[in-house]
Structure 1
Amino acid sequence: MTGFPESLPIARTPDPTSAPALRWGVLGTGWIAERFVGSLQRHSSQRVVAVGSRGSAGAASFAERVGIERAHGGYEALVADPEVDVVYVATPHNVHLPCALLALEAGKHTLVEKPIGLNAGQAREIAEVAQRRELFCMEAYWTAFLPKFDVLRQILDAGVLGELTAVVADFGEWFPDDHRIRRPALAGGPMLDLGTYLVSFVLDVLGSPDHVLARGVPTGTGVNGQTAMIMTRGRQQAVLHTSLLSNTPTAATIAGSQATIRIDGPFYQPGGFTLTASDLTASLRYEEPLDKHEALHFQAAEVARRINAGETGSPLRPLSVSIEVLRVMDEVRRQTGDLFREERDGR
């Protein structure tokens, strides 16, 4: 075995507290919004100054709970706030499009929680408005900005794995019957919440697939329960599975002719991985704190740096990649018959 490194690369991720401080407004008061705000407050230089919700009571309660200065009882009021530099859209999936367009048309730089839209068409519409208004816009795919994934990128770019042959990954999580992911009216099912991590991972490692084969299992309540996918690109293959019916390891493997990377579950969060030579004669271990959603601040720091530099996107998650991920997911859902209500209504 030749070419196996003596040590792993060091993450090049800048210190989040060194990013220019921007004033953030948050659209939405749900689970992810609260974790995003908390992460920024505890680990970054960013300032969250306002929150907007559909009603005044919800906005005021959220603002008091997390320590935000101003609460707006309406999305329009939030995007019109002159003290807000950038808007984070954390509303349910099926209203990402109108909320993102609202913020952009109001002249605000915008970070949209993943997925940026229900489908590739919606993502293109957001990208077109951002380009026309010459504003920063990005999907909040936080995984791309974690130190672990910078180390992985360096390993792959250096060709340590040799010829890439396969990606194997899963993401299964059990959700109760009353959770929003099980509700057809909120674009439920595993693909938008969980499957987006799997498809993004494949595109990051292998690139866009030439062929996609997918099969789904419905829940009988109007949303899909689980989906299995096989994606091929030339001689490379990805085998993926996502489910909202049960918990699975949520681990991932990148296999090559010279070495293999096994990423601990949950693979999309901070954590460890092991690089092992194909002949099993050498192995290296990467470890980092299991901070879970405390690490959401890395993407916010990237947004602040790019906006401060006058840029309209990030090379770590350009809108073109977000659109392509949704295009592949659209094909998966076409094969499984997983159509959202907005798509049936022509929106």
Structure 2
Amino acid sequence: MINIAILGAGRIAQKMAETVSRMESEPRYAGTVHLYAVATRNSLERARTFADEYGVEVAYGSYADMLDDADVDLVYIATSHVFHAQQAIACMDAGKHVLVEKPFAVNTADALRMIEKSRETGLVCAEAIWTRYEPSRSIIQDVLDEGVIGDIVSMSGNLSYPMTHKERLVNPALAGGALLDVGIYPLNFVSMFMPGEVERVVSSARLSGGETGDQTDELSQTTLWYSGGQMASVTSSYFEVGDRSGVIRGTKGYLWVDNVNNPLDIRVWNASHELVAQPSVPEQLTGFEYEVASAVAAINRGDVEPEQMPHAETLRMIQLMDEIRAQWGLVYPGELE
């Protein structure tokens, strides 16, 4: 039984609390996880309200108090991007495994510090990007492996939502912007299925007003060229309503995914544009249960990383986003210090 603590009490923390609570009563996961604690930065009242709503056993009004609890096994970090590295390292220093909400870190330097601490302590440090763990990933891969659409030639992915009302999304000090919050999903979608290595990146963005270190990316378009000659196109924005779709195009047909953020429907067409397959996507508790189960599995086998999202892949994605931001000239305030 792994006692899980949630660090933070915002919307994404609420979804994780619902997830673990439902896992406790789900036969597939019963006896493996327990929704043990929640901690806020400085409000015991808020932590207790959260605990009462989701049936959490213990509430803490500070992160330090939670880290002092020897009964906490795994901490889910549900705070803003810029705090992930510092908090993950603090958790590991306190002997806790960590599941870090995406993005794993703001940049490569922070990610390397986290991975180094994970290997130093022998503790799991996993990135919680749910599409890497969901069954839809293997369903899509099976279709590709069967050769139904032939050899992959190009891919595209879009994830855009109007989110200017969310303060953290438009706040440079919190590493706001579309890339780290939603753009990361189509980039991961492409990276999961495209064979070969990225050889060239061409990207442009519309940035919010302000000087260097005081901007966020509002809208961007990125083209990735691969070693086999394939191409991928990725779009993200926090202004527009995007179609959320992902498309994989091959020499014999194409595969379409509804919602690269959490695949809801998968359809496969042949060269005559005839629908030839529509594999079903399993019903989920919330979709987060798979990343939790993967982190628990890594703990149980004494590993420091999950099979579905190893450190090398997390690092590759962060390095790619660093390269994209470098082409835009986008630097977060903390990176200037």
Please confirm whether the aligned pair reaches a TM-score higher than 0.5, indicating the same fold.
yes
Q: In structure 2, what is the Cα distance between the partners aligned to 1:312 and 1:289?
A: 28
Q: In structure 2, what is the Cα distance between the partners aligned to 1:199 and 1:36?
A: 23
Q: Give, in angstroms, the shift of residue 282 of structure 1.
A: 5.5
Q: Secondary structure at the match of 1:295?
A: coil
Q: Give, in angstroms, the shift of residue 178 of structure 1.
A: 4.5
Q: Secondary structure at the match of 1:83?
A: coil
Q: In structure 2, what is the Cα distance between the partners aligned to 1:53 and 1:199?
A: 31
Check conservation: 1:168, 1:239, Cα contact below 8 A. yes
Q: In structure 2, what is the Cα distance between the partners aligned to 1:136 and 1:178?
A: 31
Which among 164, 176, 192 is matched to residue 204 of structure 1? 192
The number of residue pairs the alignment matches comes to 323
2:26 alignment counterpart: none
2:231 alignment counterpart: 237
1:134 alignment counterpart: 122
Check conservation: 2:267, 2:275, Cα contact below 8 A. no
- RMSD over aligned Cα atoms: 1.7
Alignment of 1:259-338 (within 5 A): 259-264=253-258, 266-280=259-273, 283-288=276-281, 294-338=286-330
Q: In structure 2, what is the Cα distance between the partners aligned to 1:71 and 1:105?
A: 21
Deviations 1:152-204 (A, max 9, x none): 12223344332211111111100134432111121100011111112112221
2:108 alignment counterpart: 120
Check conservation: 1:130, 1:136, Cα contact below 8 A. yes
Deviations 1:91-150 (A, max 9, x none): 110000100000111111111111110011111110011001111111001111111111
Structure 1 window deviating more from structure 2 (187-196 vs 266-275): it is: 266-275
Check conservation: 2:297, 2:306, Cα contact below 8 A. no
Check conservation: 1:76, 1:102, Cα contact below 8 A. no
What TM-score does the superposition give when structure 1 sets the normalisation length?
0.89
Q: Secondary structure at the match of 2:287?
A: helix
Q: Give, in angstroms, the shift of residue 286 of structure 1.
A: 2.1
What TM-score does the superposition give when structure 2 sets the normalisation length?
0.91
Indicate whether 1:216 and 2:205 are aligned. Answer: yes
Structure 1 spans left out of the alignment, 5+ residues: 1-20
Indicate whether 1:70 and 2:50 are aligned. Answer: no
Amino acid at match of 2:314: S
Indicate whether 1:254 and 2:248 are aligned. Answer: yes
Shift in alpha-carbon separation, 1:41–1:309, aligned structure 2, 3 A:
same
Check conservation: 1:174, 1:245, Cα contact below 8 A. yes
Q: In structure 2, what is the Cα distance between the partners aligned to 1:118 and 1:132?
A: 21
Check conservation: 2:185, 2:260, Cα contact below 8 A. no
Q: Give, in angstroms, the shift of residue 48 of structure 1.
A: 1.1
Q: Give, in angstroms, the shift of residue 333 of structure 1.
A: 0.6
Q: In structure 1, what is the Cα distance between the partners aligned to 2:308 and 2:230?
A: 23
Q: Secondary structure at the match of 1:23?
A: strand
Check conservation: 1:24, 1:50, Cα contact below 8 A. yes
Indicate whether 1:52 and 2:39 are aligned. Answer: yes
Q: In structure 1, what is the Cα distance between the partners aligned to 2:206 and 2:247?
A: 24
